[in-house]
Amino acid sequence: MATKGTWNQANIRKTNPVFSPFRVTIETPFYANNIYPVSNVKEAYEMAKDSPGTIVTSLKVKDPERIGLDNNAHVL
């Protein structure tokens, strides 16, 4: 099975066999190697920040402690 990167919205229909429940069931195990459990927002932020291609801006996150981030958290 091949993966297509983009779809025309007109083709995303229940009748399209590419979106069948059977195909989803078969493909799902192949994507399991990129799934990691995340227990809190801080851990999710750190994983996103360290992910390849992520741009850390110079903008500070407003009230980072309120959502469980460090004071030096920046918008990604």
pLDDT digits (tens, 9 = 90+) for 2-30: 667 787 888 878 788 877 888 878 877 77
CA distance 20 to 22: 5
pLDDT greater than 80 at residue 43? yes
- In this predicted structure, what is the pLDDT of residue 32? 63
pLDDT greater than 60 at residue 1? no
* 71 three-state secondary structure: coil
- In this predicted structure, what is the pLDDT of residue 18? 78
- Kindly report the pTM of this predicted structure: 0.57
Exposure of 74 by Cβ count < 10 A (0-12 exposed, 13-18 middle, 19+ buried)? middle
CA distance 16 to 53: 33
